[in-house]
Amino acid sequence: MKKVVRWTLLLYAVYALFFAFYLFSWADVSIPSEYKGTSADPAMFLTKRELLLSEQFSQIKNFLFFLSIPYEWVIYLLVLVFGLSAKFQQWAEQTTKWRFVQTSIYLFCLSLLATVLTFPLSYAGYYFSKAYHISTQTFSSWMRDEIIDFWVNYAIMIVIVYVLYTLMRKYEKRWWVYAWLLSIPFTIFLTFIQPIVIDPLYNDFYPLKNKQLEDKILELAKEANIPANHVFEVDMSEKTNALNAYVTGIGGNSRIVLWDTTLQQLGEDEILFIMAHEMAHYVMKHIYWGVGGYIVLTLIGLYITNHWMKRIIARWGDWLHIRKLNEMSSLPLFLLLISLLSFAVSPAMNAASRYEEHAADRYAIELTENKEAAVSTFQELTRSSLSQVHPPYLVKLFRYSHPTILERIIFLERYE
């Protein structure tokens, strides 16, 4: 056990040092010489102070991201090695004979421990966002969102884990197939209820107040053959200075949403370009493709997880304190493997998302025919979020679900 702990912490330290040197020293984020002096060069639309702050904030933000993912793996592994997972299961079984309540007790212990241990990194993310004036949220408001996050995730996980381990006990060999089949309607249901049940827990949504602008947006929607009656705005200025707009939900629950910061900081033509971009996701059915891709990956992930869990438990079950796959104490191992697989597949998922976002940019410029507004939109997005125009390769690979600002502006400048 001491060897496992020692090697785990050593590998994590080496990993952290690598990304510290990579992000703060080695990575070249300078603009290629052929693009210097163009509208894609941040020196042309950011002040020297903004340039410095964007580099500093991006480095810190990216470093925290790369620290947080394997940090979760370390937590799950140590929870197993120190026998905490088995202890949580024992407490739950001693408290009640009802499996659903046992699941609730076990999951609360595990979730609370993970939340406490990851809190320093979460707080660091909030602290630096506040320090660089990206976040405008008070600490109490931020903590409120964190608490809501905990209980929403806890409620969803109780259902998932209870069903998952019931299937494991009943169908030892094929549990993963039945789990995948049940995940399909569950995924669609969550996607459907998110805009009307989950999102309003965090922010206030209401129809766009500027009716003149709404009429112009709805006119764009009419040109795109989108049956839209309302555009929603959400009160985000109490939490952030960043800009955003998005499409969420499916079917009749689909919503096009604008942050109020976007309305406050961008001009009308720029807002129309953003709306055209979001309409493209609806027209091209990107939400449906995303749900479909997630369902396929879930099948593959559950199959691999089942195979790996059986092999790991057979070989190292004793020092992980796991006797059987269908025992609740194996949950940290399940979460560890799912997280590893998700991280491994994220470059491919991000590449697919960047393709969709590029297609949406093309659609938006064809619909609005306003190149200047499109370029200035991306320049303002860079300024408001202090993001890098040309991020390091590994950051783009693992973090960027959108093309880089450099790629987006160069595409617009070359577009005819």
Binding-site sequence positions? 277, 281, 357
**Residues 240, 137: contact at Cβ < 8 Å?**
yes
Q: Is 33 left (phi over 0), alpha (psi -120 to 50) or beta?
A: alpha
User: Considering 72, 214, 327, 361, which one is annotated as catalytic?
Assistant: 361
State how far the Cα of 372 lies from the Cα of 384, in Å rounded to an integer. Answer: 18
State how far the Cα of 370 lies from the Cα of 358, in Å rounded to an integer. Answer: 16
Q: Is 28 a catalytic residue?
A: no
Which residues are known binding-site members for Zn(2+)? Answer: 277, 281, 357
User: Considering 260, 278, 327, 407, which one is annotated as catalytic?
Assistant: 278
**Residues 67, 16: contact at Cβ < 8 Å?**
yes
State how far the Cα of 145 lies from the Cα of 133, in Å rounded to an integer. Answer: 19
Sign, Cα dihedral of 341, 346, 347, 352: positive
State how far the Cα of 125 lies from the Cα of 60, in Å rounded to an integer. Answer: 9
Q: Is 260 a catalytic residue?
A: no
Which token pair is 91? Answer: 């407490």
- According to DSSP, the β-strands at 255-259 and 232-234 are parallel
State how far the Cα of 202 lies from the Cα of 149, in Å rounded to an integer. Answer: 9
Residue whose entry in the numeric block shows the structure tokens 């190149």 = 371
Active site members: 278, 361
